[in-house]
Homo-oligomer: A and B are copies of this chain.
Amino acid sequence: MKKIGVFTSGGDAPGMNAALRAVVRGCIYYGIEVYGIRYGYKGMIEGDIIPLNSHSVSNIIQRAGTVLKSARCQEFREPEGRKKAFDNLKKFGIDALIAIGGDGTFTGAKVFFEEHAIPVIGIPGTIDNDIYGTDKTIGFDTAVNTALSAVDNIRDTADSHDRVFFIEVMGRDSGYIAIQSGIGGGAEMVMVPETKTTINEVIEALQKGWSRSKTSSIVVIAEGDEEGNAFEISEKVKARVKDLKDIRVTILGHVQRGGTPTAQDRILASRLGLSAVEGLRDGKSGVMVGVINDEVTFTSFGDSITKQKPLNKDLIRMVEILSI
Contacts and interface: CB of A to CB of B under 8 A. Distances in A.
A180 B263 CA distance: 7
Interface stretch (A43-51, A58-66, A105-113): A58-66
Interface stretch (A23-31, A195-203, A279-287, A303-311): A23-31
B65 A267 contact: no
A156 B253 contact: no
A59 B253 contact: no
Contact of A154 (B161, B214, B258, B323): B258
Contact of A250 (B155, B186, B254, B266): B254
A165 B183 CA distance: 29
Interface residues of A, number: 79
A67 to B, nearest CB: 9
A303 B31 CA distance: 44
A322 B22 contact: yes
Interface in A120-170: 135, 141, 144-146, 148, 150, 152-162, 165
Given A153-B64, A255-B154, A54 B324 contact: yes
Q: Which of A29, A71, A254, A257 has the most CB of B within 10 A?
A: A254
Contacts of A66: 160
A274 B322 contact: yes
9 contacts: A21-B186, A29-B324, A62-B155, A65-B157, A70-B161, A152-B260, A154-B257, A157-B254, A183-B266
Given A26-B322, A248-B254, A250-B251, 12 more contacts: A14-B156, A58-B214, A61-B184, A64-B153, A66-B160, A148-B266, A153-B255, A153-B259, A157-B257, A158-B254, A165-B253, A180-B267
